[in-house]
Amino acid sequence: MADERLQVASRSSEGGSCPGCGQAVDSSRCAWCGVAMSPNGYIVEKVIARGPHGRVYLARDAEGRPVALKELQFAQVPTTQEIDAFEREAQTLAQLSHPRIPRFLRSFTEGSGVGLRLYLAAEHVAGEPLSARIARGPLGESEARHIAKQVLEVLAFLHGQRPALVHRDVKPDNLILRPDGTVALVDFGTARALSGTRTFGSTLVGTFGYMPPEQLGGTVDPSSDLYALGATLLHALTGKPPGDLVRPDLTLTLPADVPARMRPLLSSLLERDPKLRLRSARAALDVLEGRVAPVQKTQPARMGAVLATVAVISLLTAALSFWTMARRAGTVATAPIAVVDTSGLPYGSDAAKRWFAKQKPRCNALEVTQAIHQSPPPPGWDGAGYAASCYALAGRVDDARRALSQVDPRAQPNAAAILFELGHPIADSGDDVSAAQLMNLVLEFWPQNYQARYHAGMSDYALGHTEQARQNLERFLREYQKDDGFTHAAREVLARIQRGQAPDGVRRGPRE
């Protein structure tokens, strides 16, 4: 160990080659690629990962012990969200002590102005990410169960904190398989504490395919992590990314090659409706280890708590004619919408649908801008509609609006129809809060869409935007004059607004 420290000190004082690009370096930072050599006394040995705003280094401390050193280049960060996530990760790790979570060491800064860099030093977790293991072939049932047990134990620890801590980005890249067979959960920049049992309206983070539908709209609770683990296990067992298995209604398909003993657990973890999922990591552990069987639950009404008295059958019966009328009202004769069932995507040319199918895994907050810049959608209303949908899935509503605004006004309803078809399952699942921005965006470009008008009104009410809810629901009742479950529910909410009653069952946490 003494010889190792001597070699490290010698390389630090005499310069040497850059661990990033191999060029000769005689200062604290490589002039060729910008890699740090010895920030705050940590000697950088290797660049583990790099992104648009920083790097992760393998470094050594003064005692020669390996350290994971995360660097954020302040001048390269486009918004405060990245800085908040970086600082939140340090604060989160500093409060946690678990053998399968990297141990926090310290955080610090170097430089100033455009040269300012933020650093987070944590225990280096040796091993390979689960994603690298999956790349070599699907996992067997025994290996998948071994990983599931360990991750569920970590999630039980996180969700048992007071307040509960939700990771929000459980996926193969963030699970490290150590040489001794244990699994570590890393990257806590997305983690957040819940203000109650559930938080609405949080900033969208996570990875498309692994996050549950309600998280697309910022709604999270501990079951969000359980869904992400289910999607991760599905990927591990099949070798297929969950983004490739998502149906148009945002449910995940369980292929036939998923082992029979794993299917009940995965089905319970991957329920689209959070009320039907296993409610805790401890409960999931009991199912995994055969102590209890998954509870068979009856599907509840999907219009939220305010619709509890509405008959489900009447809603389903009305739905088909409801959507048919709305689509007919918004279809433009000069740019007809052709439905192609074979692709699983709603409307437009094969080129536009192929583009979206390829880009969908990258329709997340971290990758969407670069993905669309590198591979623009095909021209036309359908390309714009799928681009807007990609932005919307990533939580970038303003960018989605700009994409739709560039379409010929006569064809804007058609482009908005693509967004509606891909987004309305969020509202149909009962998560009206998460649907608010999507449905109101659809209405900006397709005001005749009765179903979007209804969902926007219900969403606005759940958010406490009572005046906007009143306007949307009153217009809905003027334009959609059937006497069915939708109109009964709209009248009930309007009556509640008139009486000054708050929505039932909605707990609103602070925004990040």
Q: Which residues are catalytic?
A: 169
Distance CA 319, CA 327 (A): 12
Tell me which amino acid residue 18 is.
Answer: C
Tell me how far apart the alpha carbons of residues 342 and 346 are, in angstroms, rounded to a whole number: 10
SS in 3 state form for 175-209? Answer: EEECCCCCEEECCCCCCEECCCCCECCCCCCCCCC
The total number of residues written for the chain in this structure? 512
Nearest 10 degrees: CA dihedral of 433, 434, 439, 441? Answer: 120
Q: At what angle do helices 381-393 and 432-445 cross, to 10 degrees?
A: 160
Q: Are 169 and 228 in contact (CB under 8 A)?
A: yes
Task: List residues bridging with 59 in a β-sheet.
Answer: 44, 67
Listed residue (233, 118, 126, 217) closest to 170, CA to CA = 233
Closest CA to 134 of 125, 142, 143: 143
Q: Are 426 and 217 in contact (CB under 8 A)?
A: yes
Distance CA 312, CA 356 (A): 33
Q: Which two tokens stand for residue 187?
A: 């990257």
- In sequence order, the 6+-apart residues with CB closer than 8 A to the CB of 379 are none
What is residue 327's DSSP assignment? H
Within 136-180, strands assigned E span 165-166, 175-177
Distance CA 427, CA 216 (A): 11
Q: Cα separation of 81 and 103, whole Å? A: 24
